[in-house]
Structure 1
Amino acid sequence: MRPGAVTVGAVHGAALLLGAAGLAHTLWHGVAEPGNALAFGALVALGELARRGAHPGEREPAPLAAAGALAYALLGDDAGAATTHGVLQVVAVACAGGLAGIVPHVARGHGPGLDHLARRVLTVGFAALCFQPLYNSGTVTGRLGLGAAYALFLLLVLGLTGLCDAVLAALLLRARTAYPYGPLLRDELRALLGIGSAVCATGVVMALGVGAAGLWALPVLAVPLLLTQVSLRRYEAIRTVNRQTITSLARATEIAGCTPPGHARRVAALSTAVGRELGLGGSELTVLEYAALMHDIGQLSLVDPVAGGATALLPAAEQRRIA
């Protein structure tokens, strides 16, 4: 068995065991604060229903579900009254809500990948483990109160959770692609500054809002994140159109008979593979790929195509003109 398959199996197995333990514990001991569990479970399910399929490069296709699960993991008070749910109930609610929300997508054949589900379970469990025992024992409220220090503590927990998620995501990508781990981790950490920061901020605000105003805060605070999700999808759609345009232009030299069929795609694949080995990532790889796809576009200015597209055999002055 390949080492990458062992890594992926270990991560999936850990998530499966944690989710099963949470569901079994909750079913055996009952649900603490059923109203809170139902509200946050419904929010996670709604977030999964709002998923429309990940665009290339989209890190979190269901940000509302992620924010709702993290908010429940960091929920202390409910309208001023202390809550008593623990780590395993947080995992159970996140799993139940997520499974309920992805059923329609699975029925249409567009369900989320197992890697994404495993990361969600493990990161939510990590956030709950960092917060719930300290809150239930009175350590957090006793030493920090419920003011600014409490909010900063929640942000610290979410920062550690985001780091945990980035490490897991890079680890799974490394196992599946064999690309260098460093650039993959760097890309994941950079992605946290995008939709990841919005998810973390919404999770903290939801936890604090429910603590102050009750469950009525959830629908109010969910709307901005949904609008952000729509904006990001439009941005990703524009990037997809740009990529399709560049790919079409790259094929123009093949249609004109200037280069062999598939030449631009092969050069782009080879260039990005070399770029990853050299430690490039993110936007650098995108620029390299686009440059590789378009590297022969100047041949369209030739009156007669060069045999095999080998412009290296032309005089230097002609090569500069084509470039």
Structure 2
Amino acid sequence: MSRGRGRTRLPPAVLAVRGAAGALAVAGLAHTLWHGLHQPGLALAFGVLITVGELARWGALPGEREPAPIGAAGALAYALLGRSGGEPTSHGALQVIAVLVAAQLVAAVPHVARGSGPTADQVARRIVIVSFAAVCFQPLHNSGRSAVWFGDGPYFALFLLVLLVLTALCDAVLGALLLRSGTAFPYGPLLRDELRALLGIGSAVCATGAVMALGVSVAGLWALPVLCVPLLLTQVSFRRFVAVRTTYRQTITSLARSTEIAGYTPHGHARRVAMLCTAVGRELGLSGAELTVLEYAALMHDIGQLSLVDPVPDGATAPLPAAEQRRIA
């Protein structure tokens, strides 16, 4: 990224995504303020669900794609909602966008106060993806075409499944594009990482969103808290997993610094080697999990020098005898 007049110039792709999200947010809020809320009870229930999901987001962890799964599932469910308790709904795509934006603004207040929360790219990405799902579904539902074409049976569920697959693919393409705009990494491996993430938390979010929409259409708003429980339990379990991974990463980093503290290697050597290896791995097309293993191996590549009686000059083991090199390795 280049700099001009003391400010960082954003890549065109990032500007396009943020601009599209901003335009959608303004259009949704303006339309809703002008025409009022349709079925305000439904809007309030889903708005509260999205807000709670955003407030319960976990901290950013390298390799994780969805830090607020409950909020994402709630937003998708509202975008794909056609009935509530057997009665047809009347909200449109613009009201879905307005409820999502309002919920994100409310949830952002405590996050901003703590100096954390989602980035502008994450917010823009969520707005664009939910808008895509809402624009694909709500006009068909409100015009009655979805009922004529798919009815209320298995074909309708298959229609929702196809929409969710398209939404997930759009999310993966958009996520890889935003990552590519901020780095020099090739687009292909980034897209492959995003597609692999769909098999994990991405599939859980999409499935929960579809089940919420179908459950509310039959049982009403009582289905929301019941259907949120599995994803909530998954999120609690994942928080523990994140804590374990964070502790493991901190342990690796501390061990890597031990050779620097003991004077065997120059200061920051392990981190510089890890950054270089990760960049080379990106260029070679390695996936996220493979890059993590490569980074850990690079951080620990000099740990064997602690077995030496005296440090070698500048930590360079190449001049040592082959037997000594094997012992260190």
Give the TM-score taking structure 2 as reference length: 0.95
Query: 1:58 offset after TM fit, Å?
Result: 2.3
Match status 1:177 vs 2:176 = no
How far apart, in 1, do the equivalents of 2:117 and 2:249 lie? Answer: 25
Match status 1:237 vs 2:243 = yes
RMSD: 1.4
Residue equivalent to 1:19: 25
Amino acid at match of 2:167: T
Residue equivalent to 1:250: 256
Residue equivalent to 1:91: 97
Match status 1:70 vs 2:76 = yes
Query: 1:314 offset after TM fit, Å?
Result: 1.0
Native 8 Å contact 2:48 2:103 kept in 1: yes
How far apart, in 2, do the equivalents of 1:100 and 1:92 lie? Answer: 12
Q: How does 1:138-177 map to 2 (within 5 A)?
A: 138-177=144-183
How far apart, in 2, do the equivalents of 1:264 and 1:106 lie? Answer: 34
Q: How does 1:1-323 map to 2 (within 5 A)?
A: 2=2, 5-323=11-329
Q: How many residues align?
A: 323
Native 8 Å contact 1:43 1:68 kept in 2: yes
How far apart, in 1, do the equivalents of 2:245 and 2:127 lie? Answer: 30
Query: 1:54 offset after TM fit, Å?
Result: 2.1
CA-to-partner distance for each residue in 1:123-168, whole Å, 9 max, x for gaps?
0000011111112222222222212221121111111111111111
How far apart, in 2, do the equivalents of 1:181 and 1:52 lie? Answer: 27
Native 8 Å contact 2:80 2:133 kept in 1: yes
CA-to-partner distance for each residue in 1:212-264, whole Å, 9 max, x for gaps?
00011111111211111111121122111111111111111112221111111
Q: Please, which runs of 5 or more residues in structure 2 have no aligned partner?
A: 3-8
Query: 1:281 offset after TM fit, Å?
Result: 2.2
Native 8 Å contact 2:58 2:239 kept in 1: no
Query: 1:106 offset after TM fit, Å?
Result: 1.3
Give the TM-score taking structure 1 as reference length: 0.97
Runs of at least 4 residues off by over 4 Å:
1-4
